[in-house]
Chain A
């Protein structure tokens, strides 16, 4: 199979073109729908005679996108740096500082990997209620940090396990205390792993839908993706506006992807190899 593709470039190019078309088609169909006159029912992939570009502006206004963009940013800033920091420290600890009986601790995190978000949403609701955080951004930030931990710790531990022990020993002999070794040697070396983890966590936070919808009533305090729910409730019948809104919500991640394309691909490949 591999050889066949390698020796017939046209076949492989054709295959890639088909895959691209399959990937892009839904987006194009969304775009064509978003450009249909507001209040109509677009009939599939069809370029409207008079593209209603104004739908984007209306969707922005109607869904209060400005506020949501800000809210999403706050939630990402509250979640990602903290989760990355904790995961880096825990990953280092589990990879380097625990031996023998300490190892079972790591199993707890692995167990967490098997836990679906949806399974904990109800207890989480009562937990947040008891903490008095319902309807605040912390109701999204704190649980997200916790829910990200299993994967993030697993990720960082895998990285630290791959750093040769000699480096750690050289640092100790150079006079480094553990925290100095961590800050001055291990963290700089972990930069690629930290970068890819940050990108993944950003994506997952930005696209977080369930937690905001359940834990935050005020649509202006949700993530952009979370707002889609409220948007749908109010304007469910107005397909063009809904599509325009979705495209706006997608835009930041697409822009980010274009900027960090390389790191994205590297991160996803790492998941494929390690995960």
Chain B
């Protein structure tokens, strides 16, 4: 097992820069998730680590060794593909043992390694089948087994659960978490699904347009997003963003208001009067009250039993989502009023960067 270091890693495709200088330390045994919208460069970054894409500039180190010019096969990494990429003409056992076969590991040892991986993934009964005879979930298991048998320094996962249905995805997610606990291996996992990222990661790397937006533990990102992008991307339902203007500001704090928000004092916030800010409030931080700063008309109600997700259209045109108690009496078309605590408030400056005003 090994850690990784990325130093100012860049990737250009014919003039277009898709990875724009990524610096990253990944500790040995850490489960790191690259997350971001499609086209953010997360898969490209993973493939650069794997050795499947050339590095245009910068350095990638695996286990202390710069691997820029090392072939994929010699980097000691194993990858699980979204498409599984199993060899259709080989049995499950042959698929899993292929890497060892190439490494000229003697047959008995190979068989042992395959059996061990199959035991970990509980698929001993599948070893003689061919990929075509397996379900999607089983194929993904084989793909993971193939990675395990190789005992790589680093495991790479490229959206491995995207092709599975929702229920299976949840099962596999738990299994992957367990696998990481058992193997204690360095794993890098790419996904566009922030729930996967939140549940699996020791550390999440949020990417957008080829730039790392924020690196941190799941709760770190949830509680202290550094900019509007991360705030909007992490958390489900998405954080509500409301534009306001600073009416008054002094040493004690500021008072803001806007088309969508009645006047509200924010103690401790240091800004200039007249500035435009974006307030971020998570749907779960909102509560229905008889009188509050957010008034609007209910235009969406999703009753999930344990909670009710309500959509409010505010007078300024903004749409706000609130996750309320399961039995909150709201009706579509009727007015509603919402409130939130100051501690739950996120403030972003005109440049989209977070403004810290609490300790």
What is the interface of chain A, defined by CB distance below 8 A to chain B?
164, 166-167, 169-177, 180, 184-185, 188-189
Interface pair A170/B89, CB less than 8 Å apart: no
Count, chain B residues at interface, CB 8 A: 23
Contacts of A164 in B (CB 8 A): 83, 85
Q: Known contacts A166-B81, A173-B52; can you find 11 more A-B pairs with CB under 8 A?
A: A164-B83, A164-B85, A169-B52, A169-B72, A170-B87, A170-B146, A172-B71, A173-B78, A174-B98, A174-B102, A176-B73
Interface pair A172/B73, CB less than 8 Å apart: yes
Query: How long is the Cα–Cα vector from A238 to B86 in the complex, in angstroms?
Result: 62
Q: Report the minimum CB–CB distance from B136 to chain A (whole Å).
A: 15
**Known contacts A164-B83, A166-B81; A172/B102 CB under 8 A:** no
Q: Report the minimum CB–CB distance from A242 to chain B (whole Å).
A: 48
Interface pair B81/A174, CB less than 8 Å apart: no
Contacts of B16 in A (CB 8 A): none
Q: Report the minimum CB–CB distance from A218 to chain B (whole Å).
A: 45
Query: How long is the Cα–Cα vector from A177 to B103 in the complex, in angstroms?
Result: 11
Q: Does B323 contact A (CB under 8 A)?
A: no
Contacts of B89 in A (CB 8 A): 188-189
Query: How long is the Cα–Cα vector from A173 to B78 in the complex, in angstroms?
Result: 6
Interface pair B102/A176, CB less than 8 Å apart: yes
Interface pair A175/B73, CB less than 8 Å apart: yes
Chain B CB within 10 Å, residue with most, of A164, A167, A174, A177: A174
Query: How long is the Cα–Cα vector from A171 to B150 in the complex, in angstroms?
Result: 12
**Known contacts A166-B85, A167-B85, A188-B89; A173/B102 CB under 8 A:** no
Q: Report the minimum CB–CB distance from A62 to chain B (whole Å).
A: 49
Query: How long is the Cα–Cα vector from A164 to B88 in the complex, in angstroms?
Result: 11
Interface pair B73/A170, CB less than 8 Å apart: no
Chain A CB within 10 Å, residue with most, of B52, B85, B89: B85
Q: Does B79 contact A (CB under 8 A)?
A: yes
Q: Report the minimum CB–CB distance from A176 to chain B (whole Å).
A: 5
Interface pair A174/B99, CB less than 8 Å apart: yes
Contacts of B277 in A (CB 8 A): none
Q: Report the minimum CB–CB distance from B274 to chain A (whole Å).
A: 55
Interface pair A173/B73, CB less than 8 Å apart: yes
| Smallest CB gap from A167: residue in B | B85
The 3 closest A-B pairs by CB, nearest first: A166-B85, A170-B85, A174-B99
Query: How long is the Cα–Cα vector from A207 to B72 in the complex, in angstroms?
Result: 47
**Known contacts A167-B87, A180-B102, A185-B87; A174/B52 CB under 8 A:** no
| Smallest CB gap from A191: residue in B | B89
Query: How long is the Cα–Cα vector from A175 to B146 in the complex, in angstroms?
Result: 12
13 contacts between A and B (CB under 8 A): A166-B81, A169-B79, A169-B81, A169-B85, A170-B79, A171-B87, A172-B51, A173-B51, A173-B52, A173-B78, A175-B73, A175-B103, A177-B73
Q: Report the minimum CB–CB distance from A229 to chain B (whole Å).
A: 44
Contacts of A188 in B (CB 8 A): 89
Interface pair A173/B83, CB less than 8 Å apart: no
Q: Report the minimum CB–CB distance from B252 to chain A (whole Å).
A: 59
Q: Does B50 contact A (CB under 8 A)?
A: yes
Query: How long is the Cα–Cα vector from A171 to B83 in the complex, in angstroms?
Result: 14
Q: Report the minimum CB–CB distance from A256 to chain B (whole Å).
A: 26
Query: How long is the Cα–Cα vector from A96 to B146 in the complex, in angstroms?
Result: 24
Q: Does B113 contact A (CB under 8 A)?
A: no
Contacts of A176 in B (CB 8 A): 73, 102
**Known contacts A177-B73, A180-B102; A172/B52 CB under 8 A:** yes
